[in-house]
Amino acid sequence: MQSIQKSNLNKIFATLEQANNTFTAYYPGDGEQQQPVHTLYGGAQLYKAGATKKIGELSLKAFNTYAPDASTLAKALKLPGNNGLWEQVHQRVVAKLKSCAVEDFRIDFEDGYGNRPDSEEDACAEFTAKEFASALKQGIAAPYMGIRIKPFNEELKHRSARTLDIFVSTLIKENGGKVPENFVITLPKVNIPEQVTAFVQVLDHLEEQLGLQNGELKIEIMIETTQALLSQNGVSHMPLIYKAANGRCRGVHFGTYDYTASFDITAAYQQMQHPACDFALQMMKLTFGGTGVWLSNGATSTMPIGDTQTVHKAWKLAYDDIIHSLEMGYYQGWDLNPAQIPIRYVACYTFFLQSLEQASIRLKNFIEKAAQATLVGDVFDDAATGQGLLNFFLRALNSGAITEAEIEYTGLTLEEVRMKSFVKIVANRTTN
C-alpha cells in the first residue's frame, strides 16, 4: 500500500521542478565559445590598427632570441628531463606565435593610460575606436578585443561614461552599425553591486541610442578589492555583482596588485601566489563556477626585459605563476608585455602535454568499462573522476596544447568530447 497520495507528490515535485529550472538557468555551464588563454593589456595612447600584429611579431622575436631551441628553453625554466616533450612544446609555441600570438587584447583607458586632460582622452577614445574598426576591416584584429574604462567611482564615473560613449558610438558607426564579434567592455575596481547596476543602465541607454539590441554589449568585471568579496554587513558581494550585470557578464578578472594592496600587503610580497590571492581566486570559483562566466587570473608584474639572464629569471617567475594558476583551475591570465606571451603558451602546453599520455590511457579505459572503476598504474579512478578527465581534454584542446587528432588517443571522437559531459558519452555508448 502506498502512503503518499499522487496529487500531493505532484504538488511537491511541481515546486521542485520550478527550483530545478531556476538552478539550471543560473548555472548553464560552459557555452560553445572558446575561452582565450590570456588577455594582453595595452595603454590606449599606444594603440593603432596594427598593434596586435606588431605585438605578435615582437613576441616571436623575443622567443627566438632568448629560447632559440628546446634545450635553452628547458634550461631557462629549470624544467626536468624529457627532451622530446620540450621539443614538442617549443615547436608548438613557435607555430602559435606565428599564427595568432595575441588571442585577446584590451585597449586600456585605466591604469595603462592614466589621468589626462578631458580633451586628450576624448580624442584618444575616438581615434582608437577608428583604429580598431580599421583592424577589423583588414582582418588583423585579435580574435577577442575590448576596452577597459575607468572605474565607476565618485571621482571618475563621468570620465569613464564619456570615454565609453565616445568609443562605442564611434566603433559602431565605423563598423557598419554592428557590435564586433567577441567585443567586451571591462569595468575595473568594482566595490559594490550598485556600480555594476549603473554601468548596465548606461549600456542600456547607449544601445537604445545606437539602435542595438538590448544586451548586445557584453562586460567583464574586475575583482580588485577586499570590499568586492564582502560587504560592510558581512554579505558576499560577488553573487550580487553578478546579478547586477543582468546577463551581460562574459568574464570576471582578478587584479592581483590592487587586491593585495587593499589587503595591506607590502610591495615586496605582492605576488600572484600569495595566500590572500588564492583565497580570493577560490571565492571567485565558488561564486561563478557553472555560470558560464570566464574567469581569469592576473599578471606577473616582473617584465622580461634586459639581458638573457634577466629575461630567463622573469620567464621562470611567470612560468611558475601560470602553472600555479592552471593547478587552481584558472585557464586564462593577463600578459603585459610581448615577451611574456611565449611563456604563457609554454606553461599551458607543458601543463597539458606532460600528462597527455597517462590521461589518454585512463580515459580510454574508463570509457571502455562504461564508468566502472579501473586501475591504471598507481592511480585509481572511479565514476567521479570521469568528468575531470574529460575536462582535461576540453581545456587542453581549447588552449591549443593538443590537436584534434590527439583526441583519438582517448578512444573518443571529437564529437563526443564536444558533448562536454562524461555521463552523456557513457549513456550514448551504452544505448548504441
Q: Which domain holds residue 403?
A: 356-431
Q: Are residues 43 and 131 in the same domain?
A: yes
Helix (H) or strand (E) holding 219: strand 218-223
SS3 252: strand
User: How many residues can be counted in the chain?
Assistant: 432
Q: Where are the alpha helices (DSSP H) in 79-156?
A: 83-100, 118-138
Residue type, 5: Q
Q: What is the pLDDT of residues 89-114, one digit of tens each?
A: 999 999 999 999 999 999 999 999 99
Would 273 be classed as within a structural domain? yes
Domain annotation covers residue 11 = no
Residues 6 or more apart in contact with residue 358 via CB below 8 angstroms: 376, 377, 379
Q: How many CA atoms lie less than 13 Å away from 98 in the CB half-sphere?
A: 7
Statement to judge: residues 185 and 242 lie in one domain? yes
Q: How far apart are CA 32 and CA 97, in angstroms?
A: 24
Q: Which three cell numbers stand for residue 14?
A: 511541481
In a domain, 337, yes or no: yes
- The answer to whether residue 231 sits within a structural domain is yes
382 plus 299 within the same structural domain: no
* Tally of CB atoms within 10 A around 390: 24
Shared domain check, 395 and 333: no
User: What is the grid cell recorded at 395?
Assistant: 581545456
CATH number for position 252 = 3.20.20.60
In the listed set 353, 385, 411, which residue is the last one of a domain according to the structure?
A: 353
Are 292 and 28 in contact by the 8 Å Cβ rule? The answer is yes
CA distance 394 to 410: 12
Same domain, 381 and 397: yes
pLDDT in tens, the chain (432 residues): 467 778 888 889 999 999 999 998 888 887 767 899 999 999 999 999 999 999 999 999 999 999 999 999 999 999 877 788 999 999 999 999 999 999 999 999 999 999 999 999 999 999 999 999 999 999 999 999 999 999 999 999 999 999 999 999 999 999 999 999 999 999 999 999 999 999 999 999 999 999 999 999 999 999 999 999 999 899 999 999 999 999 999 999 999 999 999 989 999 899 999 999 999 999 999 999 999 999 999 999 999 999 999 999 999 999 999 999 999 999 999 999 999 999 999 999 999 999 888 888 888 887 777 545 555 566 555 666 777 888 888 899 888 899 888 888 888 888 888 777 777 777 777 666
CA–CA dist 231, 208 (Å, integer)? 33
